[in-house]
Amino acid sequence: MSLDATKWAWDVQFPERASGSLKALKRLVLLSLADRAGEDHTCFPSINRLRDDTTLDRKTVMKIIAELIEDGLIADTGERKGVTKQVKVYRLCGVSGRENKTVPTTELFKQESPDLNSTESRTVPTMEQYHSSHERVPTIPPNSPNSGTRNLPKNLKIKKTGFA
């Protein structure tokens, strides 16, 4: 499964058509193809596999694949897989990998920062910050209802029932 292909399948915009399959059905088949794609963005699920994944009719799946090829979203590589060499290999067109994207850097990391453990950067608390509170922590007696009670056997009322 290719995460890049799956993200692309969720984000792709379908061209407007006067006729053709519903966009939701196209996206469903495209997501099924993307789920089966490898890191090279190719996949080779059989029509039966796509039918089982999408719960669509076999002819509907074949029609949607033809429309996806016509829209330029997938391409038949000409390669065939499987025992009988009848399963077409499709390439998802337009998928860009994460390795092709650059991560923006912030100005904070571009500049040389001073020593992060110094008190000027305010990462190390001062002595005044440690001793700012002079309040005592209240003590609560152990059998106080404020602290809860323990379920000791002597505190429990055991009812005799017919069940043992």
Helix pair angle (58-70, 47-54), 10° resolution: 100
Q: What's the rounded Cα separation, in Å, for the pair 78 and 90?
A: 8
pLDDT value for 90? 96
pLDDT recorded at residue 21: 79
In this predicted structure, what is the pLDDT of residue 148?
A: 59
Neighbours of 2 (CB within 10 A): 21
Per-residue tens of pLDDT for the chain, all 164 residues: 679 999 999 999 988 877 777 899 999 999 999 999 999 999 999 999 999 999 999 999 999 999 999 999 999 999 999 899 999 999 999 888 766 555 555 554 555 555 655 556 566 666 666 666 666 776 766 666 655 556 666 666 666 666 65
pLDDT at residue 94, as a whole number:
87
What is the pLDDT at residue 86? 92
Q: Please give the model's pTM, rounded to 2 decimal places.
A: 0.58
Q: Is 38 exposed, middle or buried (0-12, 13-18, 19+ CB in 10 A)?
A: exposed
Q: Where are the domains of the chain?
A: 3-98
Query: Which pLDDT score is estimated for 58?
Result: 96
Tokens 């509170």 -> residue = 133
3-98 maps to which CATH number? 1.10.10.10
Q: How far apart are CA 67 and CA 47, in angstroms?
A: 15
